[in-house]
Amino acid sequence: MCCHSVITVRSMEERRACEERLGQVVEKMKKEGIDMSQWRLGTFQRTICPQCEGGSTEERSLSVFIREDGTHGNWTCFRANCGWKGYTQPDGVPKAYQAKKDSGNENESDQEVKANQPVKVIRKLREEDLRLEPLCDELVTYFSERMISAKTLRRNNVSQRKRNNKIVIAFTYRRDKVLVGCKYREVSKKFSQEANTEKILYGLDDIKQARDIIIVEGEIDKLSMEEAGYRNCVSVPDGAPAQVSNKLPDKDHDKKYSYLWNCKEYLDPASRIILATDADPPGQALAEELARRLGKERCWRVKWPKKNETEFCKDANEVLMFLGPQALKEVIEGAELYPIRGLFNFKDFFPEIDSYYLGIHGDELGIPTGWKCMDGLYKVVPGELTIVTGVPNSGKSEWIDALLCNINNQCGWKFVLCSMENKVRDHARKLLEKHIKKPFFDARYGGSVERMSKDEFEEGKEWLNESFHLIRCEDDCLPSIDWVLNLAKAAVLRHGVRGLVIDPYNELDHQRPPNQTETEYVSQILTKIKRFAQHHSCHVWFVAHPRQLHNWTGAPPNMYDISGSAHFINKCDNGIVIHRNRDPDAGPVDVVQVCMKKVRNKVIGQIGDAFLTYDRITGEYKEADEAIVAKVVKQQIRQKSTSYQR
């Protein structure tokens, strides 16, 4: 029969009385020889037992608990050669609390009593009330067919009982050999259990002081583990959830998994917990729920083997039945660390590392730029960030467009362009001229070169539409980096683009919290861009203008000259300065210097300069003659010397 009691605590009235009760409990424990350096309430503490003094190893084997409201305290020594236990309470305990103790509810000590919260008294079972019987031959045979021996059944007190004119299997739940609960199973797998009993793990006494623990999903799986030689195994009492819960509740509201809290003192000493739940989705959800509560850092998980050519074993008993005890033992020995989000072994990446070594993807050494003089300095690798800078009107955007056209022509890469300084029609013209190698208009800048034909124009439009996608802000608002990256993600997933261009940095919305510096903000957005690039295996070119240069001599700027923060060079994978010759005395003004200022990955390049010539008619870039390069370099050396003399 179920007994209930409601205890109400009104904090204002009880505060002084609670403090007095706690003081009495502590003093009574001290008289028993229990003295803690710091008393903590509502939690189990470990100390050396005054009776056995922890044996020769001075083990802290005494578990001490004081209820938060001061109504009682208890202690238990878990050393097998000692087992000293006791219970104390203050003088004048309210009758409701005394009645709860008299009802046999000594397992309620780890539940906190809150203001006006009803407390349910746990039912205490007696062996004689359940009328359990030894297993009949029919049920012994049933277990034998499942490879469970009579010896294992006897050791685990597996019994039978007549219920509703049926004989059912009775799995007794015990703590310190005392009956706590009982679960019934029909051969047809219909389950029931004694109501209002404390929830604990099945086989709890088998894991007392165990350093390694195995947790399974059913009582028969626990018995199966014993057949494989593992007694340090327990089963959950209530089966598996349909799915993982969204939020982890606190202890007081964690009703479904209360058995973990009730068995906490048995589980805490374990340094390794192997989760051998069922292979189906609910079983995997249970493993996740258990790991979240027990601590993933000390959890392992098993992989169930195949039972035939097409099917995998679902649980421990299936392994025992189909493959035998040695196979089940190998499953446990082969348990793997439970995955923790963000924490990996190199082994987890071996397939990726193997592909990298074998060059399976073809881009491991980078994608050539299309200019031989550049390829020794810089190649394009998926997942990297390249910062491009240069003084205004140096051709940063034009050079990137030419690079994209070269890569598309070689590898068929697709790109998404967020180019805020270009009108769509002007950007289309520049790309088409580079692709078709003819001027868009029959205009003065084209000189005597024939304009692209109508057919070439139509073919170019098809190429343009297939190769490039646009990110455009359709209103007057400035786009934020999050907005750009979200659309770029959609382009990667929908269109398979491999490259993103953000041009330029100063056209983005840079609103930031008042307590965030520009340096911190730049670091944050560069981190977001790098994570996007790595996660989606997409190369990102990010154009950033240098700050205003005072006393500029015409030499190429440095990456540290970028307006905003030194993080532009610190956090990028590749740093490029585009510089155009503006001095006719130094050589042709169509010479463009591409300065590699940073290359993180030595496999794909190195620091150095390459020189190209810019065709103003078609927008193409070609490698510069050696004589021209020598003249430009000589003039730059002269400029530096003059600058130092000043």
Give the end of a domain, one of 88, 117, 136.
88
Domain count, the chain: 3
Domain of residue 433, CATH code: 3.40.50.300
The neighbour count for residue 150, using CB atoms within 10 Å, is 12
Residue spans of alpha helices (H) in 439-517: 454-467, 481-495
Rounded-to-integer distance, Cα 78 and Cα 457, Å: 87
With respect to residue 115, please indicate whether it lies within any of the assigned structural domains.
no
Beta-carbon-side half-sphere exposure of residue 243 (alpha carbons within 13 Å): 3
pTM score: 0.64
532 inside domain: yes
Sign of CA dihedral 342, 343, 348, 354: positive
Residue 349 lies in a domain: no
Q: Is residue 569 part of a domain?
A: yes
How long a stretch of residues is the chain?
Answer: 646
DSSP annotation of 331 reads H
SS3 of residue 67 by DSSP:
coil
Same-domain pairing of 512 and 413: yes
The answer to whether residue 346 sits within a structural domain is no
pLDDT tens per residue, range 542-576: 999 888 776 777 778 888 888 777 889 999 999 99
Q: 3-state SS of 79-140?
A: CCCCCCEEEECCCCCCHHHHHHHHCCCCCHHHCCCCCCCCCCCCCCCCHHHHCCECCCHHHH
Do 142 and 54 fall within a single domain? no
Distance CA 145, CA 456 (A): 79
Residue 640 pLDDT = 64
Residues 380 and 476 in one domain: yes
CA 540 to chain centre: 25
330 and 194 in one domain?
Answer: yes
Q: Mark whether 555 and 624 lie in a shared domain.
A: yes
In this structure, the answer to whether residues 70 and 131 fall within a common structural domain is no
Do both 166 and 264 map to the same domain? yes
Judgement on whether residues 37 and 147 belong to the same structural domain of the protein: no
Question: What is the distance between the alpha carbons of residues 363 and 288, in angstroms, rounded to a whole number?
Answer: 38
Q: Same domain, yes or no, for 84 and 132?
A: no
What is the amino acid identity at position 49? Answer: C
Q: What is the CATH number of the domain that holds 137?
A: 3.40.1360.10
Assigned domain for 491 exists: yes
| Residue range(s) defining the domain that contains residue 33 | 12-88
| Exposure string for 51-61, b = 16+ CB within 10 A, e = fewer | bbebeeeebeb
Domain final position from 57, 88, 119: 88
Instruction: Answer whether residue 530 is part of any domain.
Output: yes
621, 493: one domain:
yes
| Tens digit of each residue's pLDDT (9 = 90 or more) over 417-472 | 999 888 999 999 999 999 999 999 999 998 889 999 999 999 999 999 999 999 99
d(CA 122, CA 103): 9
Residue 363 lies in a domain: no
- Same domain, yes or no: 311 and 418: no
Q: Do 539 and 599 reside in the same domain of the chain?
A: yes
8 Å CB contact between 598 and 574: yes
Low-confidence ranges of the chain (pLDDT < 70): 1-16, 92-121, 550, 586-587, 639-646
